[in-house]
Amino acid sequence: MYSYLLFLLVLIPFLALSAWASAKVNTTYAKYDRVPNRAMMTGYDTAVRLMHNRGVTDIAVNRVGGRLTDHYNPSRKQVNLSQSTFGSASVAAVAVAAHEIGHVMQKKKGYVPYKIRNILVPITNIGSRLALPVILVGILLTALWELPYGEWTVYAGIGLYGLSTLFMLVTLPVEFNASRRAKKMLVEDGILSEDEVRGASKVLSAAAMTYVASMLISLVYFLRFALVFLSLLGRSRRD
């Protein structure tokens, strides 16, 4: 009971941070979505120009449903811009569009954290599904048959679960780097002036905070998960 209360005391501030970050990105985007950029470039125009000026000709720019659902799909060679970004000529829209092109350039330039994150995607998906079954098998092997490798099976399961936290950790430099690339490209290509970039920076910084909050929450859950099952493993060995 005490350990669970401690878990909640640690988790609640990070949940509050996550809620604040989500609200902040929405309010910041809404604020700068009302500010048209002087070049009158839409999100679509921005994505196309930034890629064209950097020799990227094989990536399609599509419109997708929703608000702030923008993403880059490298396997399909698509930059998907949300309805709130695609046709809008606001400072916020071009900032978000440029951020996605930042990911395109990361792939083109071979940015190492981006490569690592892409490698982790399928491994993390598999690991999150297998973690609990593997841990339970390990505990049973230890408790029922006292097999020496049961303990290592538990450790392996905890490691599989931890891949999601590792993925979130690697995501942070990827997202921050994409935003830095975005701001630099917007100025280089004359889409935003220096004073307009300050607004774009606020939009991108607010979005980045959601990733920080998600990583912290993931870390807290991982530590709780590991402690619970290590405790169960300890009890099974004593019994």
Active site residue 194: no
Which one is catalytic: 100, 151, 175, 196? 100
Side-by-side strand order, sheet with 78-82: 60-64, 78-82, 71-73
Assign residue 72 a region: left if phi > 0, alpha if psi is -120 to 50, beta otherwise?
Answer: beta
Q: φ, ψ for residue 90 (rounded to 5)?
A: -90, 165
77 sits in the region (left: phi over 0; alpha: psi -120 to 50; else beta) called: left
Q: Cα torsion for 114, 115, 116, 119, to the nearest 10°?
A: 120
Structure tokens at 215: 């990583």
CA distances from 13 to 3, 6, 24, 96, 235 (A): 17, 12, 16, 28, 31
Among positive and negative, which fits the CA dihedral 32, 35, 36, 39?
A: negative
Specify the DSSP element, H or E, that contains 176.
Answer: helix 150-188
Q: Alpha-carbon distance 115 to 24, whole Å? A: 29
Residues with active-site annotation: 100
